[in-house]
Structure 1
Amino acid sequence: MQEYYSLFGLPERFAVDVAKLDTAYRQVQAQVHPDKFAHRPETERRIAMQWATLANEAHRVLRNPLPRARYLLERRGVDVEAERNTSMSPAFLMQQIEWRESVDDSREDAEALQRLGKDLERDERVMLDDVRRALDEEPDLQAAAELVRRLMFMEKLRHEIDDALIQLDSH
């Protein structure tokens, strides 16, 4: 697995200074951008393309909290098992049911969908802070993995809300 943090000279932590990440990304891209190698031998062009691709992927992953958390867990030997491990606390399962019912009940009400989206974003921010603590402060990788699975569900639900809002706008 490629080490994204060292590519940008950043500490391997969930809490990322996005401005430093963006600056480091631009510096790496300036060094390896394929256009700089247009008149170089094929091998050098191919290597530059590989580095540019790696930099793009690393930036995309580290810039976004959920992929960043999954990446850190994988680096630390923990598979989130999102496809196989669907066990979650009963309280979160009940919350999922309530959210789904709210989305279904609000499909024709843009304001209700927007409120639900804002509530979901608020809950995600709190949960991301819990992920930060579980990864950076008091390492509890299993708790972080469960939080990531929860966040993945919430992200999917947020997309459903966005899709429902788009459908309402198109009518």
Structure 2
Amino acid sequence: MWRELPRIDELPNGSQLQSDGKLKFSDNFFEIFAIPQAWVVDLNGLNIRYRALQQEFHPDKYSTKSQIDQRLAVQMTSLINQAFETLKCPLKRAQYLLELSNIDTDQETHITTDGNFLMQQIELREGLQDIFNHKEPWEMLERMRREIEDIYLNLQDSFQENYQKGSLGDALNITAKMQFFSKLLIEVENVEAELEDM
């Protein structure tokens, strides 16, 4: 995936300058960071590359340039930020990898018939609500947090396995479950904040 943009002085890795002076800046987030298109990402290397790209395309660097170059720097900074946020987050990275394979990740109806998963959702949500009535709420919250995190990590391992062997339908099913557990971890943080205010 490439798009043509006007030329600027400095180009990131993964970009190409054509003979007509136009910059082809990759829309592929993995290419922007010059890393393999894969589930496993070196997060430390990603952070280092992100900081380098931020400096390279910081809008202040182009304050004396043409309006086109200034606008381009802002666009590139926005794209770099979006790419970074996507690749560092397991759920977003999984969804993005599937989207690159032309899989629509917005549809979650295919998992509603999974009875075990539905029961697990209900039990975990009820457990979070019960925390406020528990005699040891903090202990219960930490126990639930560990349980949810363990399940989330196991789902990530399952996604990697299915994605690597090309079982994209199964990978999509797992991604939808990852989305639920990602939201559940946010709910855990909300419960923690409420407990602190009590």
| 1:140 correspondence with 2:167 | yes
Structure 1 residues 55-94: aligned runs within 5 Å: 55-82=80-107, 84-94=109-119
* Preserved contact between residue 69 and residue 148 of structure 1 (Cα < 8 Å): yes
Structure number with the bigger relative contact order (C-alpha 8 A, sep ≥ 6) is 1
Deviations 1:88-112 (A, max 9, x none): 5211112112212211222341221
What CA distance in whole angstroms lies between the structure 1 residues aligned with 2:48 and 2:181?
30
Maintained 8 Å contact 2:91/2:182: no
Partner of 2:197: 170
1:8 match:
33
1:88 to 1:129, Cα distance in 2 relative to 1, 3 A: farther
- How many equivalent residue pairs? 170
**TM-score normalised by L of structure 2:** 0.80
| Structure with greater helix percent | 1
Higher strand share: 2
1:80–1:146 Cα contact (<8 Å) kept: no
Q: Is the 8 A contact 2:108 2:176 kept in 1?
A: no
Structure 1 runs of 4+ aligned residues shifted over 6 Å read none
Q: Once the two structures are aligned, what percentage of the paired residues are identical?
A: 31
CA displacement 1:13-70 (0-9 Å, x = unmatched):
0110112211222222222111110111111100011111110110010011100111
Alignment of 1:1-171 (within 5 A): 2-82=27-107, 84-108=109-133, 109-135=137-163, 137-171=164-198
TM-score, normalization: structure 1? 0.92
CA RMSD of aligned residues (A): 1.6
* Aligned residue identity for 2:197: S
Give the structure with higher Rg (CA): 2
Q: Distance in 2 between matches of 1:123 and 1:65?
A: 13
C-alpha displacement of 1:87: 2.1
Distance across 2 between alignment mates of 1:100 and 1:24 = 38
Task: Give a deviation string over 1:62-85, Cα, whole Å, max 9, x none.
Answer: 011100111111110111234654
